[in-house]
A and B are shown apart, each in its own frame.
Chain A
Amino acid sequence: MEIVVASGKGGTGKTFVSSNLCLYLERVLHEKVVAVDADVEAPDLLMALGSSIKEVDREEFYGSYIPVIDRSKCLKCGKCVKACEFNAIEMGPEGPVIDRSRCEGLGTCAVVCPVKAIRLQEDKTGDIYASETSYGIIVVTGDLELGKGNSGRLVYRLKRKAYEMGSKIGAKFRVVDAAPGIGCPVVSSIAGSDILIMVTEPTPQSLKGCLRLMKVAESLEVEQVAIVNMYNLNPGFVEKIKRILKVEILGYIPYDVNVIKAYTLTRPLLEYSPNSKASKALINCFNRLKEGWIE
């Protein structure tokens, strides 16, 4: 079963929910779990789960291609310049010049070149690695090279890696901690998952993000449930969230200083402070998830 945790707005507590959900599945339900950190531009899940004690797998990720032009063949006809939908090629005095920051690496230029002067070369855009944390949970993380694109393709690869590792160790669950927003990596995170847990806070900004996220999940036909985090910062808004979201709300988590303390020590809250208010609320949320969605 693949459970994806996402939020339209950043900083609402995705990694907090994902890391504790992993611990709940392991320690309370005694099920094996592989976690995926799909926030490849700011990967935090490994740290939230107590950091790596052992790297169990690593591979390079070639997410894209770059066109290489053979100047001796090039006729400077400009067909590649015209065909590029991303305006990534300009005609210079020596022939066409590729703007790497705009190139999507899809290769239309190579196809339209009448003399086959363009070939595609694989481009490394990041690393994929799997680590075991001190809680015995395997975390699959992607490290996208700074300033680079193609994060959606990297997320698909991370999920596939997690599936392979999960099959090997007999893990019934995969928990995907998504990036903030609704862009390409988030679409890849949600696609093919069994259930989406949306983490929201009681503010209009977060609610709007949640509604955008629901549209994405609907288009991908993935069922949605929600958790309202830090609900007591604005309790008056909670009714509005219930009314507008119209999805099952697993529970409400209070603002609790233990959450920040647990983060500072990089320990999941359920393990650091199992009797805190926020821990009890989390357990309630996860029990609800178990009753309704986990057979």
Chain B
Amino acid sequence: MTVITITGGKGGTGKTVIAINLAFALSNLTGQRILLIDLDVENPCTYTLLGVKPKTVEEIGVFKPSINADLCDKCGKCVESCPAHALFLIPNRGLMLIETLCEGCAMCMYVCPRGAINRDRTIVGWIKEAKSKDIDLVLGELKPGSRKHHEVMEATLNHARKFWKRYKIVVIDTPPGTGKGIYMALEAADLVVAVTEPTSLGLLDFKRLHSLIKSMGKPEVVVVNKYGLPGGIYESMQQFLEEEGLKWFKLHYDRQMLSAYIKGIPVLHCYPNAQSSLDVKLIAREVVSGLKK
């Protein structure tokens, strides 16, 4: 089994579009179903592009204190010790929890001398699954307003880990960024496909991401998406990629790709002979031949 993580530093460089098109192309080449894991829990889009309605298979919950007002003697120990400053003693009303501030560490429950705080659970997101042509999808979705995006990402990845050995190829789609969540998705990878675009900000964020991938010692290939975008930077991008000795591919910016994106359909399905589709197929072939080695 091989895990391919698609990531990109900057937002909107084309991670999800590439993850889906690549998954289809890989399925075509290997004749196997591909497991696609959508870890962009803050805005999962894979299902829209796959045209499927995922079903919830698991709710993700974290600790939340439940206050027993009858036992509470308002000593204030929990208020004092709460590292998130989520508990307040309000005169005449007693102990109050501001749920959006609570980090779920359960400290309050342990410091309470009267056992007035018990374990409760709050839902922070959901794990969902769907099946489409050639692709089995697992996705995580963060509940809007919750801060626990890392927890939802991790729970989603762990859920998929239980059965991913059944697949020959697993593709992970990630959110933008270079933080803890990305680290987790990179750690699981056998191969990283870094997606960038030929703009100054695209290059700046890619450099940041690349130094993270490099520091983790993960094999990396780069896709320069939107290649041919008018006004783009090509020389400095190419120079950086060559200096770093990175294998890279062009994914051309064409009308068909744009039109497919707007319709929410993989370009590979609606315009199989467009330059962008040919580019995706080439990347898939190179990935597969790389795996054989």
**Cross-interface CB contact of B264 among A7, A48, A152, A203, cutoff 8 Å:** A203
Q: Is the CB of A148 within 8 A of B103?
A: no
Q: Which residue of A lies closest to B258 (CB)?
A: A233
Contact A205 B264 (CB under 8 A): yes
Identify which of A40, A44, A151, A183 contacts B204 (C-beta below 8 A): A44
Task: Evaluate contact between B105 and A215: CB separation under 8 angstroms.
Answer: no
Residues of B with C-beta under 8 A to A258? 231
Q: Are B105 and A106 in contact (CB-based, < 8 A)? A: yes
Q: How far is the CA of A275 from the CA of B200 in the complex (A)?
A: 22
Partner of A187, one of B81, B107, B145, B150: B145
Judge whether A204 and B264 touch: CB under 8 Å.
yes
Q: Please name all residues of chain A whose beta carbon is closer than 8 Å to the beta carbon of B232 when the two chains form the complex.
A: 260, 264
Whole-angstrom CA separation of A258 from B180 in the bound complex = 35
Given the interface pairs A11-B12, A42-B10, the reply to whether A263 lies near B145 with Cβ below 8 Å is: no
Complex contact B176–A107 (CB within 8 A): no
Within 8 Å CB of B63, what residues of A?
85
Q: Is the CB of A149 within 8 A of B176?
A: no
Kindly identify which residue among A44, A104, A147 contacts B205, using a CB–CB cutoff of 8 Å: A44
Pair B100/A187 contact, Cβ less than 8 Å: yes
Closest Cβ–Cβ distance, residue B17 to chain A (whole Å): 9
Is B176 touching A146 in the complex (CB atoms < 8 A)?
Answer: no
Cα distance, A48 to B233, chains bound together (Å): 15
Q: How many A-B residue pairs have CB under 8 A?
A: 184
Q: Does B92 contact A (CB under 8 A)?
A: no
Contact check, A203 vs B261: say whether CB atoms are below 8 A apart.
Answer: yes
Q: For the complex, is B28 an interface residue (Cβ under 8 Å from A)?
A: no
Given the known A-B contacts A11-B10, A147-B183, A182-B43, are A42 and B200 also in contact in the complex, defined by CB atoms under 8 Å?
no
A203-B261, A261-B231 known; A85+B43 contact, CB < 8 A:
no
Complex contact A106–B107 (CB within 8 A) = yes
Contact A181 B144 (CB under 8 A): no
Query: Can you identify 30 A-B contacts, CB atoms within 8 angstroms?
Result: A8-B42, A10-B13, A10-B175, A11-B12, A11-B13, A41-B179, A44-B201, A85-B62, A111-B81, A111-B107, A111-B110, A111-B111, A146-B178, A146-B215, A147-B183, A148-B179, A148-B180, A149-B180, A181-B40, A181-B149, A181-B176, A184-B150, A186-B42, A187-B147, A202-B262, A208-B45, A219-B100, A219-B145, A220-B145, A260-B231
On B, residues with C-beta under 8 Å from A are 9-13, 16, 40-43, 45, 48-49, 62-63, 81, 83-84, 100, 103-107, 110-111, 142, 144-145, 147-150, 175-180, 182-184, 199-201, 204-205, 208-209, 211-212, 215, 229-233, 258, 261-262, 264
